[in-house]
Structure 1
Amino acid sequence: MSSTLLAVSDALAALLEQATAPVKTESRSLLRARGCVLAEDIRAAIAVPGEDNSAMDGYALRAADAAGPLPVTQRIPAGASPRPLAPGTAARIFTGAPVPTGADTVVMQENCVEEQGVLRVQAAVTAGANIRRRGQDLAEGDCVLRAGRRLSAADLGLLASVGHGEVTVFSPLRVALLSTGDELVEPGTGPLGAGQVYNSNRVMLAGLLQALGLEVVDCGIVADDVDATAIALRWAATNADCVISSGGVSVGEEDHIKEEVRQLGELLLWRLAIKPGKPLAFGNVLGVPFIGLPGNPVSSYVTFCLLARPFLLRCQGATELAPLPLSARAAFAVTQAGSRQEYLRVNVQPEAGGLVARPFANQSSGVLSSVCQSNALAVIPVGATVAEGDQVEILLLDTFG
């Protein structure tokens, strides 16, 4: 394997090339489907809305009759079945209620005065105003959502609006999660000893996986031991659709993950031109995809979001793999061009003239607070410098979960 650092874009392309489409599907109620990936196109069996209805509280009438005065002949709440509206009359109507046959406009109540059952309109009236037409959201037969869409809360509401109580989705992947290192201690189990640290990567990565709707197979902490590493990898590959580890993929004598992956399967790539996160590994264990993330928490977070996440989404059947990049004005300078693509933790806020990105003071890969107290990553390409005021690409952290 070449010792040359692999570009982030090339690494991502290599991962996605190895991603296999899912085959297992299941039916889920809409209340349990958020974050799942649709396995089939959904078409509307009904129009939404199903009939012309009022966009606000007011009065339904003919625009030609607006000069009035008009007797109010009926009251139409949402869910009612109105009578046809006779010429020269008006109907009290409420938001969402069906517009009666014969009416061609709804006048908002703020522009009307009703006294003793007689309506006077006090504003100009336009035919068709304040009416939501039948099918303006969806017509019968329209494609509501396409297969491969990862379902949001709004998507679920849209599916409910056309009468779906459940949908067919791809079954969530089972992802085995290993943490390596003799120095790791699970939080809540007691005080730290000399040289020990709490295992932050386990809960962080589990949260990122759960945010994708995936099932986490928690393999706990794996000791820095060849045999223990081999046993853990073999068990993980046997019991999951993908294996993700944190730590153990660098060049230290106690980093056994890479070699055991080679022994049990294949290591396809290692070491990226990325900062933070250079020692990322990808391959397979017993034919099951394996991603080895760095042990430093920020490196683990960044490489998961940029590389593991799109790979898992592709394996889950999703068609949208990456957040939409935005642009912000740099409130910082990068004077020395780097050999690795860098992802600075920044706070992006709107100011006069657009978005402005300000970096967190400490960009060390071990400072997880740099992620928690930032809201975006600023992308600094290989070989690039940045002058204060330049536009830089940013990725919002909220989009990663």
Structure 2
Amino acid sequence: MSGREFFTARTVAEALAGFRPARRTPVQTVPLAAALHRVPAAEVLAPAPLPGFTRSTVDGFAVRAADTYGASEGLPSYLDLLGAVRMGSAPEVSVSPGGCVAMPTGGVLPAGADAVVMVEFTAETMPGTIEVTRPVAPGGGLVRADEDVPAGAALVPAGRPLRASDLGLLAAAGVTDVGVHARPRVVIVSTGDEVVPPDTAELVVGQVRDATASALAALVTDAGGEPRVAGIVPDDPGALETTLRAVLPTADLVVVSAGSSVGARDETAAAVAALGTVWCHGLAIKPGKPTLLADCGGVPVVGLPGNPLSALVVFRLVGVPLVWRLAGCAVPPPEPSTRAVLSRDLASAAGRLDVVQVQLREGVAEPVFGPSALLSVLTRADGYVVVPEPATGLDAGVEVEVVLYR
């Protein structure tokens, strides 16, 4: 039986590097208000330079830098105040030798000036005369017309989820719509005679409510996908294959939450193999070994273990990057993490990646143990620690990286 169950086991690293479906979601145009965390299909180029004019970065006075050379508190330079620049307007005055113009932060640099001296290094000694006590170099206190972004340069790259700052830069350039990949449609199929819907009021002995589908849907949403829960399929031979045939044409990714028994896992493998190619059936990971990865007519399929903890651990490590990849993301955004000291020894087996849930207490990572059927292990954890495949464990007191749950 074990030969059937794990006939092409791979490491997690092999799965991430080797199982890379070519499928990508189509491109759609969305307004900036709907573009956060969406993945641009192509880099967006600046239609004009930014900021578009040479502007002051400080409050002060526009000057010819040469007129300030040698200025000090003991021997200041004296300049004639020729006027002032108003915000949002082109300058109506220019700077001539020996003169200066009052400048607000963000104001347009007047003709003749090549620097702005900060107001902190000036004083008005008499009406119309400005005393400068510190020299400024050409270009000081200002940004050039194309210093933020030259015309034709990339405002945002392709293949990286858009961040808040990206949307701000696009807006500054006058780009109000952007072409992004559609959100991947992820169909979640639960299986098992023992599994019943979450709204089941009374359970009979042996039944469990479907907790995994709801949690998987949340992970899909967090990764930018659109989840659709397709319901619960019994362990009857052929039922899963029939369901997969029905949902595959509507999906960019299918996730099967298998029953807990070996027979249920074999049924998943048989149904998927009848419709496509199984890339692996078994990952060298704890928890989550009975994981299946396959391609069915260009649609990737992930078969997860029946135990909720195992299913969610594996999907976070393998499924979430797959959702991002389908959405055109070249490198999935990293999860937040922190460093902490491990409170106790962790044993592991070489050649297997172990994922250990931990609680954080004042810089100390305390492992949280429990059977893989218990979701409370995850809810009590602040994050997890990975024991890599080559290691045989981690010693108490070592500093580890804790990947945080958001």
Task: State if a TM-score over 0.5 links the two structures.
Answer: yes
- Whole-angstrom CA distance in 1 between matches of 2:248 and 2:10: 26
Deviations, residues 20-62 of structure 1 (Å, cap 9, x unaligned): 1427322222222222222223222211221221223333334
Q: Is the 8 A contact 1:250 1:279 kept in 2?
A: no
Matched, 1:45 2:47: yes
Matches within 5 A, 1:288-367: 288-321=299-332, 323=334, 328=339, 330-334=341-345, 336-339=347-350, 340-346=352-358, 356=363, 358-362=365-369, 364-367=371-374
Matches within 5 A, 1:105-124: 105-113=115-123, 118=128, 120-121=130-131, 123-124=133-134
User: Which residue number in structure 2 is paired with residue 10 of structure 1?
Assistant: 14
Q: What is the CA distance between 1:242 and its match in structure 2?
A: 1.8
3-state SS of 1:342 partner: strand
TM-score normalised by L of structure 2: 0.82
Q: Is the 8 A contact 2:11 2:284 kept in 1?
A: yes
Q: Is the 8 A contact 1:233 1:285 kept in 2?
A: no
In the alignment, structure 1 segments of 5+ residues that lack a partner are: none
Aligned partner of 1:142: which letter?
A: A
TM-score normalised by L of structure 1: 0.83
Aligned residues: 391
RMSD of aligned Cα (Å): 3.3
- Whole-angstrom CA distance in 1 between matches of 2:360 and 2:166: 28
Q: What is the CA distance between 1:10 and its match in structure 2?
A: 1.8
Aligned partner of 1:358: which letter?
A: A
Aligned partner of 1:10: which letter?
A: E
Q: 1:253 to 1:206 in 2, by over 3 A?
A: closer
Q: 1:102 to 1:312 in 2, by over 3 A?
A: same
Q: What is the CA distance between 1:254 and its match in structure 2?
A: 8.0
User: Which residue number in structure 1 is paired with residue 110 of structure 2?
Assistant: 100
- Whole-angstrom CA distance in 2 between matches of 1:130 and 1:376: 45
In the alignment, structure 2 segments of 5+ residues that lack a partner are: none
Q: 1:288 to 1:337 in 2, by over 3 A?
A: closer
- Residue of 89, 102, 114 corresponding to 1:80: 89
Q: What is the CA distance between 1:112 and its match in structure 2?
A: 4.4
Q: What is the CA distance between 1:196 and its match in structure 2?
A: 4.2
Q: Is the 8 A contact 1:293 1:303 kept in 2?
A: yes
- Whole-angstrom CA distance in 2 between matches of 1:111 and 1:221: 73
Find the structure with the greater CA-based Rg: 2
Q: Is the 8 A contact 1:52 1:99 kept in 2?
A: yes
Deviations, residues 167-200 of structure 1 (Å, cap 9, x unaligned): 2222332221122344445445646554444433
Q: Is the 8 A contact 2:353 2:388 kept in 1?
A: yes
- Whole-angstrom CA distance in 1 between matches of 2:307 and 2:384: 17
Deviations, residues 359-390 of structure 1 (Å, cap 9, x unaligned): 34335434445445545432212342222333
Aligned partner of 2:354: which letter?
A: E
Aligned residues: percent identity? 34
Matches within 5 A, 1:222-233: 222-233=233-244
Aligned partner of 1:361: which letter?
A: V
Q: What is the CA distance between 1:93 and its match in structure 2?
A: 2.5
Q: What is the CA distance between 1:357 and its match in structure 2?
A: 5.3
Q: 1:102 to 1:176 in 2, by over 3 A?
A: same
Q: What is the CA distance between 1:78 and its match in structure 2?
A: 3.4
